[in-house]
Homo-oligomer: A and B are copies of this chain.
Amino acid sequence: MTECSVTFYPQNIEAKIKKGKTILDALSQTDISLSNLCGGKGICGRCKVKVTEGDYSAGKSSKLNPEEIKNSIVLACLTKVNNNLKVEIPEYILIHDKHADKDALRYKDSKGINLMPDYEAEPLVIKAFLQLNEPGLKNNIADLQNVCETLSKKLKIKSVEMKLPVIRVLPEILKKSKYQVTATIGLQREFAEIINIEEGNTVDKNFMIVIDIGTTSVVAHLVNATTKETISTTACFNSQAIYGREVISRIIAAEKNGHEKLQELIIKDINILIKGLVETGKVDINNIYGVVCAGNTIMEHFLLNLPTQYIRRTPYIATTVDPPPLRASDLGININPQGLLYPLPGISGWVGSDLTAGILATGMYKDEKTSLLVDIGTNGEVIVGNKEWMMAVSASTGPALEGASVECGMRAETGAIEKVSIENKKVVYKTINNSPIKGLCGSGIIDLVAVLLKLEIINRSGKMDETKSDKVKTIKGIKRYILTDSKEGNKSVYISETDIENLITAKAAVYAAIKILLTRLELPLSAVENFYIAGGFGNYIDAENAIAIGLIPNIDREKLKFVGNTAIQGTKMVAFNQDYFYKIEEIRKNTTYYDLMGAEDYVQEFQKAMFLPHTDIEEFK
């Protein structure tokens, strides 16, 4: 079969591909990430590119207008390559555009409460300075046994091991250092592994990386394992977005193209983040001995190149929710070659280690009072429990709460409306970085719907009333509330009744999940003493508006706690304290997953929540 070359501009990146494959296939060979949402099915219309040279066969799509078709604008996912092409990628559809890092960095730091954990215990990777006895004829102990026995005594640990690559260099290092060495010890589950030996005393150079792999963004912190300080923080968008914004699209892509493709992308992201962190933090990458990593179960499967196909099919079984620690370099992660990767344990295919880390960070697992933790991200997970028991559910919200499946929706990037409020009975808004308006992100959509409801421009079903505002217009039979008109090449930004329907569906899913969980546990809402809202996204939600639209129940405000990125907080706690390494494993074991697909009354509760804020208005009084 003929091979064609597809060159993308302005990046000037070339991909080789077989004739008949799509432009999106060619893109997938590059580092260029498009914000396509549907995973290459021609539905979202977001992968528009312009072919400037060469022959192609474009698939038909209602997402393209005649003007666009005339100008050789096509959907990359539906366009087959016939010979060598030159393709221009419009800046606005790029994820990795110039604002991307800045945008992603919004998620890098954790906001909200920070239950200061007990860091008296040792970190997951420790360094110990060892003054070994120099061997002689009367004390002919072998080098490895010399190190292990001295270390066992010093740290009071029983099982110490060392692998061959480190054993091999031991004699030279012991000789050269005159038996004064520093051992780096990484905790494995059942033993302590000496992963590095170096001359002299280097106990002050012990660093780790803490990562939260989200479906949308990847957040990484560089920490000093000894002083337990955070040195630098960073974030980027998950490059797997090239295969779709939702995990389902990515699973389908992995089934089609191989899981290693998805693995490659996330490893590349992680290595870029680490590079940035060590440059900012002025740390030698060889002094990083561990990576502790949380993420939803599917992200963790992709990281480890584990099959995901059964997670998306009933009964939604994960390959593992508790992968073993492993050599980071075995996956191509660039830290000390013997450094360890700790993927944290999750609860089920749909409740991952970001949630166990969240349970750890909030401390709800040791609280006598009952708490509820809701993590609003690309999916919505809810945990209820206390020190005696915990139960978890996952609600498939669709991407509306993150700004997708809404016509003018976008991610929380530069130019997105993130706040909407009423001033003098008028709708006012604020964009991210105060840039020219490009669209609406999740928090902006929640605010806008709450505001429209308050102003009675929409009713409790989300239907618009043209008489209440001159900004409501009917276009192609669908009512829209117009925020900005199109002018000078800028698209009009608006919210339609269809968009509001999508939002209601999403919020109803979360609300119904909370309701079913409490019903199963026979708990009234008032029994919940702490209501934690987590997720990088959670930071930016307005509590009153979230309650006004019925995303979260009408809880006493003093019980409501925005706890930010508890995934990264909990993960850092594990890095800093070995006890938490075992504790998070206990949390995994002690948390029951309840699958909403098995709950017959879920659909009923879901439908009851399909009003603003709810069918039963009493619940919100």
Contacts and interface: CB of A to CB of B under 8 A. Distances in A.
A164 B304 contact: yes
Interface string A305-319: 111011000111111
A314 B142 CA distance: 13
Nearest to A599: B137
A582 interface: no
Contacts of A135: 315, 317
A13 interface: no
A320 interface: yes
A204 B617 CA distance: 67
Contact of A171 (B304, B307, B595): B307
A14 to B, nearest CB: 32
Contact of A324 (B163, B318, B322, B348): B163
Given A137-B595, A138-B598, A162-B324, A167 B306 contact: yes
Interface in A126-148: 135-145
Interface string A58-69: 000000000000
A321 B320 CA distance: 37
A162 to B, nearest CB: 7
A209 B350 CA distance: 44
Given A163-B324, A164-B304, A326-B163, A144 B189 contact: no
B140 A326 contact: no
A323 B171 contact: no
A88 interface: no
Interface string A149-175: 000000000010111100110111001
A314 B319 CA distance: 53
B137 A319 contact: no
A593 interface: yes
A598 B320 CA distance: 56
B321 A142 contact: yes
A523 interface: no
A319 B168 CA distance: 8
A304 B142 CA distance: 15
Tally of this chain's copies = 2
A522 interface: no
A360 to B, nearest CB: 19
Interface string A466-495: 000000000000000000000000000000
A135 B140 CA distance: 56
Given A168-B305, A314-B137, A145 B321 contact: yes
A295 interface: no
Contact of A323 (B141, B167, B310, B318): B167
A264 to B, nearest CB: 16
Contacts of A161: 189-190, 324
B349 A144 contact: no
A429 to B, nearest CB: 42
B171 A317 contact: yes
B189 A320 contact: no
A347 to B, nearest CB: 9
Contact of A136 (B138, B315, B319): B315
A428 interface: no
Contacts of A168: 305-307, 319
A106 to B, nearest CB: 33
A316 B141 CA distance: 9
Contacts of A162: 324
A427 interface: no
A191 interface: yes
Contacts of A164: 304-306, 323-324, 326, 330
A597 interface: yes
B190 A348 contact: no
A381 to B, nearest CB: 14
Contacts of A324: 161-164
B140 A349 contact: yes
Nearest to A318: B142
A344 to B, nearest CB: 14
Contacts of A322: 142, 144-145
A140 B305 contact: no
Contacts of A318: 142-143
A315 B163 contact: no
Interface string A174-193: 01000000000000011100
Contact of A167 (B172, B190, B319): B319
A136 B318 CA distance: 12
Given A163-B324, A168-B306, A191-B190, A143 B319 contact: yes
Interface string A287-309: 00000000000000000111101
Contact of A348 (B140, B189, B321, B326): B140
A319 B595 contact: no
A471 to B, nearest CB: 46
Contact of A189 (B139, B159, B170, B597): B159
Given A167-B306, A190-B159, A137 B317 contact: no
- Going nearest first, the 10 A-B pairs with the smallest beta carbon separation are A144-B320, A137-B598, A190-B190, A142-B318, A190-B191, A142-B321, A137-B315, A137-B595, A136-B315, A159-B190
20 contacts: A136-B315, A137-B314, A137-B598, A140-B349, A140-B595, A142-B317, A142-B319, A142-B349, A143-B320, A144-B319, A145-B321, A159-B189, A161-B190, A161-B324, A164-B306, A167-B306, A167-B320, A168-B307, A171-B307, A189-B191
Given A161-B189, A164-B326, 18 more contacts: A137-B316, A139-B315, A140-B593, A142-B319, A143-B317, A143-B319, A144-B319, A144-B320, A144-B322, A145-B320, A159-B189, A162-B324, A164-B304, A167-B320, A167-B323, A170-B320, A171-B317, A172-B307
